[in-house]
Structure 1
Amino acid sequence: MTLRILCLHGYTQNALSFTKKTAVFRKCLKDIADLVYITAPHIVPIPTLTTIEERQEDSLENLEPEAVPYGWWTSSPEKPTYKGFDESLIQLREGPFDGVMGFSQGASMASLLQVLLERPHLSEILKDCTHQPFKFAIVVSGFEPRDAEIMKWYTNQYPVLKATEEVSSDKDEQDGEEEKQECLYGVQGASMHVIGRNDVIIEPERSEGLLKHYKFKTPTVLYHDGGHYLPSNAASRQAYKAFVQSFV
């Protein structure tokens, strides 16, 4: 069985550039997974030009295809609402995929897509989606969303996908009943989080902020001593393959 993995690039990248940047990752999984790369729908304006129109025109006409910058949404500390997020979800209504891998902004999108496929009713775009929840996500330099409404998808409590019942003793009956009634928050699927200790774009502490939303299945965490990139050394390659292999 060959797995299909959806791959989501980082901010200012695109599917072509991300394919090249992840060549080693793709090679180490070649016998067990097919990687499908998709470009985000929003062109990221080049900040050196005067107007948005000039920036978009320059991006389309004067840059090599792999250099045209795209993003899954736009926001700012002053305006944390994710503009363009729904359009990106429409772009991602494909499949089927067994798992998802994302880098930076694409990692955050991968995590959000993972939770939305577990609870499609939370999104008008995905509420009628028949895609099964991902078996796993690989989140590289990911981060929590700044958009408060989107953040609620992690922090609001929902019933677990597959409930498990425990028989409590008479002594702990009351505590047991309370535990059964409590719902789980966060993501219920499996995950691997890749975090660079010297990442100055998405600091390690910010990436670690996502881990608290993955308590249903203990996440696999891969630290590396580099910065804002997907590591490709031997130890990292072995870790990727071992993680993905467990879902074949």
Structure 2
Amino acid sequence: MAPNPTARQPLKLLMLHGYTQSGSLFHAKSRALTKHIQKAFPLHEVTAIYPTGPLRLRPSEIPGYEPSSEGQPDTDEIEAYAVAETLKKDGPFDGVIGFSQGAAMAGMVAALLEGRKETFEHFATVSEDGASGMAIPAPFGDADFQHPPLKFALCYSGFRAPGARYRAFYEPAIATPVLHVLGSLDAVVEESRSRALIEACSGEPEKDGSVVWHPGGHFLPSQRPYLDAAVRFIREQMERGEGKGKKADEVDVNDMDMPF
């Protein structure tokens, strides 16, 4: 069957939630962002996939938890979702968007999809302060695992995973283009941890305009300038990947309110 010339090109986003969250909760909190992306890309079929992490927290592990008067049991439950499974089932994805712990994971997934099997093997035998690197997470090192590198990653309140065992994710630097969106009043993720992730990305992100600060705390900003910044970044990477100029029917970035 001949391809439909009027069919819209796919723009598929992997959405990774933060600590104490779920896919459905992140869907609600990121609705302004995904709607803005959909509006800005009318020539694309925008799809956002929200997996829920495979481990559900016990209530006592959630900050601020207080036992209920009804004696709700404190149990672990496993959910049948994982990033690798989502990549295989719903991919290929164009980009990943993560918040907080999900943003940390977004950077790691982007690095894995660049192809780092040899890097993980190297650091698994190299010790730093008595700690060797970890093995590459399954199934990313398997020969039959196929997914192209991501075109982009958006990290909201992101940070670098600490410790020498994670060096293979960040050395060499993450080549996938990453937009870092950070809150100047974030009291949950220290600025130094976010800057460690910025420094683990190739190039000079701050000079390149790939670091955006909003005057708030630990959340996804929904104000127009920060939504426009995300759209501008995604468009730049999509056009670079497609080797095309700006679509005439899509929103001109010059009409956007930019925060920098």
Asked if 1:202 corresponds to 2:173, the answer is: no
For 1:137 and 1:217, the matched residues in 2 are separated by 16
Going from structure 1 to structure 2, the CA distance change for 1:212 and 1:113 (only over 3 Å counts) comes to same
Residue number among 227, 230, 234 corresponding to 1:237 in the alignment = 227
After TM superposition, give the deviation of residue 147 of structure 1 in Å: 4.1
Asked if 1:114 corresponds to 2:130, the answer is: no
Aligned to 1:41: 54
Matches within 5 A, 1:91-170: 91-94=85-88, 95-121=91-117, 122=120, 123=136, 124-128=138-142, 129-155=145-171
CA contact (8 A) 1:198 1:204 kept: no
Q: TM-score, normalised by structure 1?
A: 0.70
Aligned to 1:21: 29
Q: Give the aligned length.
A: 191
Letter in 1 for 2:219: Y
After TM superposition, give the deviation of residue 88 of structure 1 in Å: 4.1
Aligned to 1:55: 74
For 1:27 and 1:236, the matched residues in 2 are separated by 13
Letter in 1 for 2:198: L
Aligned to 1:12: 20
Residue number among 183, 189, 214 corresponding to 2:201 in the alignment = 214
Q: Secondary structure at the match of 2:193?
A: helix
Q: Compare 91-100 and 234-243 and name the one that shifted more.
A: 91-100
Going from structure 1 to structure 2, the CA distance change for 1:92 and 1:150 (only over 3 Å counts) comes to farther
Q: TM-score, normalised by structure 2?
A: 0.67
Going from structure 1 to structure 2, the CA distance change for 1:204 and 1:217 (only over 3 Å counts) comes to closer
CA contact (8 A) 2:170 2:201 kept: no
Cα shift readout 1:68-114 (whole Å, capped 9, x = no counterpart): xx9xxxxxxxxxxxxxxxx9454444311010000000000010000
Going from structure 1 to structure 2, the CA distance change for 1:237 and 1:89 (only over 3 Å counts) comes to closer
CA contact (8 A) 1:40 1:91 kept: no
Letter in 1 for 2:11: L
Q: Percent identity?
A: 31
Q: Secondary structure at the match of 2:33?
A: helix
Going from structure 1 to structure 2, the CA distance change for 1:147 and 1:42 (only over 3 Å counts) comes to farther
Runs of 4+ in 1 over 4 A off after TM superposition: none
For 1:110 and 1:234, the matched residues in 2 are separated by 23
For 1:41 and 1:147, the matched residues in 2 are separated by 23
After TM superposition, give the deviation of residue 243 of structure 1 in Å: 1.0
Q: Secondary structure at the match of 2:47?
A: strand
CA contact (8 A) 2:116 2:168 kept: no
After TM superposition, give the deviation of residue 25 of structure 1 in Å: 0.2
